[in-house]
Structure formats: structure tokens, C-alpha cells
Amino acid sequence: MNWNIVLAATIKWVFMVLVFGLGVAGILTWVERKMSAVIQDRVGPNRASILGFRMLGLFHPLADAIKAFTKEDFVPDGANRVLFFLAPLIALVPGMLAFAVLPFGPGDNLVIANMDSGIIALLAITSFGIYGATLGGWSSNNAFAMLGSLRAAAQMISYEVSMGLNLVGMFMVFGTLSFSQIVYAQGHLLGGWLPEWGIVVQPLAFILFMAAALAENKRAPFDLPEGESEIIGYNVEYSSMRFATFFLSEFFEVVLIAAIVTVLFLGGWQIPWLDPKGIAGGWIRVLQVGAFVVKTLFVIWVMMLARWTLPRFRYDQVMKLGWKIILPLSLLNILVTAIVLAML
């Protein structure tokens, strides 16, 4: 085994997943509260302070972490202990793995595993996320948690299908399954001026993918598995750090989905009209990584906006939307794409 490769991958993993992914996910717990407050004309959390500094409430995630660590770790009677303990981890880890195939910048150095079949790998890995929610609800021996996990399973499997189908259109257009290649291809200019971003060539797929992705990571308006007001959700029996892990995995998935949307539809690290081949190193490369980060944060912002705008769907509406609207439209999208590609 070549240890240099392992070492390099580890370093990249630490920076991309732990520093960027988990860092942003941690801050998102604050952003979620603050943004909801600002949208609703409130002030939001601002009380946690260190030595009198409040920093707009930025210390709240820290306070939450301390609280989560010091609380009682409760296991309900009759719970399946092994699965109960594993479920939060199963929810968190696939997201972390999936980051491996996303390119943060041009070249081989800014992606952990530059796989040729990146999209397939990503879809395969993220599907594992279902197990976290499902097993968590099932193992905690609680009817409400069970309901939540059943909803989670049904919903995530339904939307998985359309998520995958929307990507089919993408790799028909770009002719590759590798994320890096797709980002390079998006630097190509249409008609000499319009960057060939995914959102330009596949606008319908973009909208459908966003909807499916929101449903996939179980956030409003698709937060049925959690449904705070009716069933409290698959994580109702979880407390302390285990609950926090579930929570963190949800935010981590937000970051992940935003990164995927950025890479596939918003040109990844591409800055329009600037070095589309990614050969200029130096400051331009830093800028390109910065562009990726900024785009990801923007997508997260849009997702948060949707979350605080739209009310929750009814369960049958979610299923109807998934199977009767998004799925046929995705198939239609593939058909139209195929016809257009054949005619060109």
C-alpha cells in the first residue's frame, strides 16, 4: 500500500469533511435559528456569551454542544440497544463518505477520490442515510418513532428514484459520470458567452433535483419523518449527544446536498469566463475554491429560505408529488434531452 496516498487522502478528508463540512454544519445550527428569527422579524438567539461578548449569539452552538455532552444518555426500555446506539452514526457517516467524490477545485489535489463513476458512488453512498433514520425509529421501541421511521423510509426511497433520474439527464448532456469531468465541461461556453452550467442546459432537472433533494434530507416542507407538531419523529427517544448527532447529520446533509447541487448545476469551482480549464494555479485556484464555497453557501441559503417559507406537506401529498409529478417529469426530461441530443 502506498502510504503517501493514504496520508494525502487523510489530510484532504480532514480539511474538506471535518473543517468545511462539519464546520459549516455546526454553524448552520446557529444560522437556522438566527435566519428564522430574522425572517420573522425577531432577534433570535443572542444570550450565550463568553466574558460578556455575545457575538450575535454565535456561541450558542458551543453552549448546545456542552449541554448535549453533559445530559443524561437515555435508552428506553425494550430498545434494541445495538441498533439504538448505531443509528445516529449510520445517519452521519454516509454524508461524510459522500464528500469524497466532490471536487472542491480543479485538478486531482482538491478532490479526495477522483472517481470515474463518481455520481453512481455518490448515489450509492447517500442511500445509506435512510438506514440511520429508519433504524433509529425502529430500535427505540416507540410507536411515534416507528411512524416517523416508516415515513422516512417511504419518503426517502421515493425521492431517491427521481433524484437519480434527474442526474441521468446531466450525464447524458456531459457524457461522463465523473464529477471532476462534469465541472470541467461546465466551463465550456455556449454560443461564446453563456457558461454551460447544469442549470442552463437542464433547468427542469435543476428544479426537480432541488425538490427531491429537499425531500431526501428530510427538511421542511418535507419534514414528515420529523413532523414536530404531530409525531415528533424518528428521533423522539434520543437524548444528549445521540440526538445531537442526528441533528448534526441533518445539517451535514444540507451542506452535502448544497455541494452536490453546486457541482452539478452551478458550475462547481468554475468562475464564468475565468480559466475554464483549471490550469492556472496560484491565486486563481484559491479564487476557484472560494467560488465553490460561496456557491455552496448560497445554495444552503436558498434551502434555508425554502425551509422557513413553506408549510409542511401532508403525507399523501408528499407521495403524490414524488411519484405522480416529479417522477414523470424527470422521465420526460430524460426523453426530451435524448431527442435534443440526437438531433444536434
Partner 1 sequence: MVKVKVIERPVPTVSTEIYLKEVLKGMGVSAKHFFQGITTQKNLVTTQYPEEKRPYPKRFRGHHRLMKREDGSARCVACYMCATACPSHCITIEAGEREEPYIQKYPRKFEIDYLKCVFCGFCVDACPQDAIRMDSDKHRIPAYTRQDEMAGNIDLLKLGGLSQARQGGKWS
Binding site residues, partner 1, CB under 8 A: 35, 37-43, 207, 302, 305-306, 308-310
Least CB distance to partner 1 at residue 203 (A):
12
How far apart are CB 301 and partner 1 at their closest, in Å?
9
Nearest CB to partner 1, comparing residues 19 and 305: 305
Taking the least distance from each CB to partner 1, the nearer of 78 and 203 is 203
**Residue 315 grid cell:** 403525507
Q: Is the CB of 42 or the CB of 81 nearer to partner 1?
A: 42
Plot region of 41 (φ>0 → left; ψ -120 to 50 → alpha; else → beta) = left
Nearer to partner 1, 39 or 150 (CB): 39
Instruction: In angstroms, give the least distance from the CB of 305 to partner 1.
Output: 5
Please state the closest distance from residue 56 (CB atom) to partner 1, in A: 10
- We find the least distance from the C-beta atom of residue 107 to partner 1, in angstroms, to be 36
Residue number, 37 or 161, with CB nearest to partner 1: 37
- Smallest separation, CB 313 to partner 1 (Å): 11
183-186 contacts, C-beta under 8 A, 24 or more apart: 183/103, 183/106, 183/263, 183/267, 183/268, 183/269, 183/270, 184/106, 184/276, 184/277, 184/278, 186/267, 186/268, 186/270
CB of 140 to partner 1, least distance (A): 34
Q: Please, which residue, 42 or 67, has the CB nearer to partner 1? A: 42
Nearer to partner 1 (CB atom), residue 41 or residue 72: 41
Shortest distance in whole angstroms from residue 247 CB to partner 1: 23
Residue closer to partner 1 (CB basis): 222 or 234: 222
